[in-house]
């Protein structure tokens, strides 16, 4: 296996619709062949103007760690596993295999009034062309699924964990993106002179966006 989102006058006052994104932070783990180390980014902003008053924005930080993989094919007594830093040398993917991919994510929010949403997407080019099928979800540090709230999300879609809260000296949370890959293909007749074909597929990438938001002031009486 090769791991390859008539003219009318403007009213005097207006309210934002539900939530307003006021800052965005992005990180990704590119997982084609070789996975780089932890990606750490930070957004620094002093304040933003909202409804006539200054609202402290604070600092955001998101880190995406290395991808791990584990064969979970039913009936396999000694499944292979490892960290996806290069193409695995001890595992050949075959039609019918099931592989679990996991990616750790850490978020840090610094600021008493800081609220953010975390959006996660699993990009899988081979799921789009029928080589594999893949679904994913996000778990918190207790191993409880938090997005989507039930079931699994399809590859190449986005899930969101809402209302992450900041604090002093900073609120850190750990998450895990869990991906289940089914390797597609029909049954193959094999023999010593006609070995089974290897199935090559690209594990894709996990992208994480951390978006600072403000709630609708009307919901808080502001």
- Could you report the per-residue pLDDT of 119-133, keeping only the tens digit for each? 999 999 889 888 899
> Could you tell me the residue range of the domain that residue 59 belongs to?
20-86+94-186+199-214
Name the token pair of 161. 């964990």
Whichever domain contains 37, its CATH number is: 2.60.40
* Residue 29: pLDDT over 90: no
CA geometry: angle at 103 spanning 99 and 108, to 5°? 165
Query: How many structural domains are present in the chain?
Result: 1
Q: Measure the CA–CA gap between 202 and 84, rounded to whole angstroms.
A: 11
Q: Measure the CA–CA gap between 175 and 139, rounded to whole angstroms.
A: 6
On whether residue 15 sits in a domain, the answer given is no
On whether residue 9 sits in a domain, the answer given is no
* Residue 35: pLDDT over 50: no
In sequence order, the β-bridge partners of residue 71 are: 99
On whether residue 5 sits in a domain, the answer given is no
Average pLDDT score, the chain: 74
In sequence order, the β-bridge partners of residue 50 are: 53
In the structure, what pLDDT confidence band is assigned to residue 20 with cuts at 50, 70 and 90? low
* pTM recorded for the entire structure: 0.73
* Residue 48: pLDDT over 70: no
Which H/E stretch holds residue 126?
Answer: helix 125-128
Q: Provide the percentage of residues in the chain whose pLDDT is more than 90.
A: 32
Nearest to 136 by CA among 82, 77, 84, 67: 67
On whether residue 41 sits in a domain, the answer given is yes
Query: Which residue has 């007594």 as its token pair?
Result: 77
Within 10 A of 33 (CB to CB), how many other CB atoms are there?
14
On whether residue 7 sits in a domain, the answer given is no
Query: Which residue has 């938001």 as its token pair?
Result: 213
On whether residue 210 sits in a domain, the answer given is yes
């Amino acid at each position: 296996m090769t791991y390859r989102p008539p003219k009318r006058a403007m009213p005097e006052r207006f309210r934002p619709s539900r939530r307003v994104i006021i800052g965005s932070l992005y990180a990704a783990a590119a997982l084609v062949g070789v996975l780089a180390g932890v990606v750490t980014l930070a957004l620094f902003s002093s304040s933003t103007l909202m409804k006539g008053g200054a609202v402290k924005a604070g600092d955001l930080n998101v880190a995406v760690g290395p991808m791990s993989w584990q064969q979970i094919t039913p009936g396999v007594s000694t499944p292979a596993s490892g960290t996806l830093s290069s193409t695995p040398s001890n595992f050949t993917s075959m039609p019918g295999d099931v592989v679990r991919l996991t990616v750790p994510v850490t978020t840090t929010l610094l600021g008493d009034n800081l609220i953010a949403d975390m959006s996660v997407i699993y990009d899988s080019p081979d799921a789009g062309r029928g080589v594999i099928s893949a679904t994913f979800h996000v778990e918190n540090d207790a191993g409880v699924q938090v997005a989507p709230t039930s079931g699994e999300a399809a590859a190449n879609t986005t899930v969101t964990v809402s209302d992450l809260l900041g604090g002093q000296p900073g609120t850190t949370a750990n998450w895990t993106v869990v991906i289940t890959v089914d390797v597609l293909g029909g049954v193959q007749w094999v023999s010593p002179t006609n070995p089974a074909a290897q199935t090559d597929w690209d594990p894709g990438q996990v992208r994480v966006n951390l978006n600072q938001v403000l709630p609708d002031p009307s919901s808080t009486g502001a």
